[in-house]
Amino acid sequence: MLRDITNQKVCEKWPALKKRKIQDGSAKYLSGSNQESKNSSENYIDRSTSMGSAIDLSEQLDRERKKELMEVRTEKGSAKSQLQHLQGKLWEVRENLPELQVEVDKLQKEYEILVNKCSEKEVKIQNIGKQRVKSINDLQVQFECFKKKQEESFNNQINIIADECDKKASAVVLKKQKEFYEKEQMTKRLCDKNREELKKLQALLEEQYKLKLTTKLLERERMIKDLKQSIESLGSQLKGFEFDKHKLSDSLSRQKEENQKLDNKYQNVKREAEKFRQRTDFLRVEVDKKASHLTDLKERKHTLLQKISSFREGEIELKEKYIEQHKLELELRERLQNLKGNIRVFCRVKPSNDHIAFDIKYGQASQDSDLKDHIEITKPKDSHDSIPASTVLNHLRSYSFVFDKVFDQYATNQKIFEEVGQMVQSAIDGYNVCIFAYGQTGSGKTYTMSKPGDGVIPLSIKKVFSCIKEYKELGWSFKVDGQFIEIYGDSINDLLADTYIRKLDLVLTNVSTFALKSPAEVNKLLAKADGNRKTASTRMNDRSSRSHTVFIIGIHGNNVKTGKSVNGVLNLIDLAGSERVDKSQVKGIHLHEAQAINTSLSALGDVISSINSKNSHIPYRNSKLTYLLQYSLGGNSKTLMFVNVSSSAEHFNETLNSLRFAQKVNNTHIGSAKKIAE
């Protein structure tokens, strides 16, 4: 009973389910067909622009159509199987449910309607497939036409390019053939010319030989004639004739020998002519080789010219980079000088000659004094000085000083100039630069400044001319002139004047100015000035300088490329040494010299103190030394002072005073240096 009720419910719901399933399948089929039609029309437009994408789309559409057709057929087969199953069930329940027959008939009609609709859809699908095949064929035809046109156009372009290449190659071949023909003709002309010269030479040799033979024959004829005359005149003198006959026979034998020699010479000439002919053939071969070698050389020349051109371009580029690097170097060097200060102080310690020296320590200063060096001297036990007794302790006392650079007893002049060279470079760049040495007599000032070969002055001259040579590559031309003066007592003398002693006023209007063209020329002038300088032997120094010397170098540069010009001045000053009269024991004129030196150095100390105290009045006119140095100490220049000190125990107090003065100078600020107005 339950089974019959279930079958009845299934039979009641089956027509609605079947109808819904068929409607869903039809809607899906129609939607797929419409979508396929729409995609086909859109893809048709796209295929007209791209054949490759059209083929891919057509294959995709074909796969989708086959898939949908299979789904419809599957649904159709499923519907048939379900219908058969329902027909079987229908016969089983027909007896109990006769009304189902009506519904079955109705479902049968609906099925037939659906079958007809499916047939119509299949026909439509077939028509769409035929249209797609036709569209694909049309696109293939269009693609073949387009491909054919492109191939024809490409072949035409290739033919045109090939013709042009053939023409160019033919032109090059003709040109090379013409050049080869010209060279061949030139070679032939040279060979013909050599042959003609050889023929001329052979003709000259034959003519020369004929002339020699003719001369010999004429001489023989003349001799025979003379002999006949002798025979006729001496016929009566038989003995004399026989004697003459013997003489003539000897002469004849000599003539035969000479003839034999001439024959030998002739054979030698023939052999030489044969050698010359062989040499000519060899030269002809060499000419051919040279012509071939000349061609190779021309090709190599062309290659080298190309390389030279590329090298010149690279050279121009490197010069431009060098100019930029040079500008940057000038800026960095200027910044470095400004950081180091305008007045710089270098300390140099002279070794002790008597091996009795006080203790000296060197080292790097503290972090508060960056880029500075440190020197510490210790007072010896037996030193006698003017320090008050209240300050003297039983233990040894030390004094510390800080300078821009400290050089010990073992430092060479060359090492010292490595630091000084930057100041010399500033003078070339257009600044007023002053370098002077200060210290007691015998402390090594003149050795540092004026030693031939490696003193500051000779090395500065070498650097000036070396930099001038380098700057020529950048378009600079320089003129260098020099003055060498001496401050002796209360007078200023020109050391380069022929008469030497010539008192000058402070304006220095009568100083001899010499054009400096080479380091060798400058060294001659320095030797002349050194010979004119005042020196004397004292107890403290065998050759003590009795005057201050000032070497003024003017540097005037002009750049034709940039239009810039510079005017720099380099003042190189060797100060006379301070000395204690009680130790040097000088008398007379040397005493007056020592007093004048100490007075001028004291005036220099007063000027430094006034600048350090920022006084409104600076006593430059108190001495001629300070008057000459006012432009180096007045704020617009770069100044370097060497303080030369002795390490000998007996000179400890003088060393201490010199270091104190140098520290005062090192603490003096004179402002930023400026270039000299152009």
Annotated binding site: 439-446
Q: Where are the alpha helices (DSSP H) in 234-356?
A: 238-340
549: nearest Cα among 523, 577, 568: 577
Which tokens belong to 632? 């180096």
- Give the span between the Cα atoms of 495 and 508, in whole angstroms: 13
d(CA 550, CA 587): 26
CA distances 463 to 340, 454, 522, 565, 574, Å, are 21, 12, 13, 20, 19
The 3-class SS string of 280-307 reads HHHHHHHHHHHHHHHHHHHHHHHHHHHH
In contact, 386 and 654? CB cutoff 8 Å? no
**561 vs 571: CA distance, rounded Å:** 29
Distances (CA, A) of 97 to 6, 11, 14, 85, 110: 14, 10, 15, 17, 21
Q: Is the dihedral of CA 273, 275, 276, 280 positive or negative?
A: positive
Give the closest residue to 474 by CA, choosing from 574, 325, 346, 577: 325
What residues form the annotated binding site for ATP? 439-446
Q: Is 510 helix (H, G, I), strand (E, B) or coil?
A: coil
Cα distances (angstroms) measured from residue 429 to each of 340, 420, 435, 515, 554: 17, 15, 16, 19, 12
Helix then strand count (H, E) for the chain reads 12, 14
